[in-house]
């Protein structure tokens, strides 16, 4: 008896229209946080933080460099240490 092997295991299911569940959470979380900033700070003081949070939310949702999620590319940049000392050459 032959069994059917599942294909395309790495593709996420579309749950909310054209968005996967993860994309929907990024968008809803970013929109909710922008709304909270607007209500707490007002439009004048919250304009820059709203743009930053909205831009990050949009990047997490839609931007895919090298066909990989933006979060994977963002993690190594946040783990860099300016105190690292790299020495190239022969050690004696």
The domain ranges of the chain are: 19-75
Angle 6-26-33 from CA coordinates, rounded to 5° = 160
pLDDT-derived band at 47, boundaries 50, 70, 90: very high
Q: What is the pLDDT of residues 9-31, one digit of tens each?
A: 777 778 878 888 888 999 999 99
What gap in Å lies between CA 60 and CA 70, rounded to an integer? 5
Answer for the pair 30, 58: CB distance below 8 angstroms, yes or no. yes
- pTM for the full model? 0.68
What gap in Å lies between CA 24 and CA 62, rounded to an integer? 11
């Amino acid at each position: 008896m032959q069994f059917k092997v599942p294909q395309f295991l790495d593709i996420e299911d579309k749950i909310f229209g054209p968005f996967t569940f993860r994309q929907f959470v990024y968008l809803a979380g970013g929109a909710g946080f922008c709304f909270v900033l607007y209500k707490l700070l007002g439009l004048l003081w919250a304009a820059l933080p709203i743009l930053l949070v909205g831009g990050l939310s949009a990047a997490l949702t839609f931007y895919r460099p090298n066909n990989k999620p933006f979060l994977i590319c963002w993690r190594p940049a946040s783990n860099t240490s300016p105190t690292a000392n790299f020495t190239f050459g022969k050690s004696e």
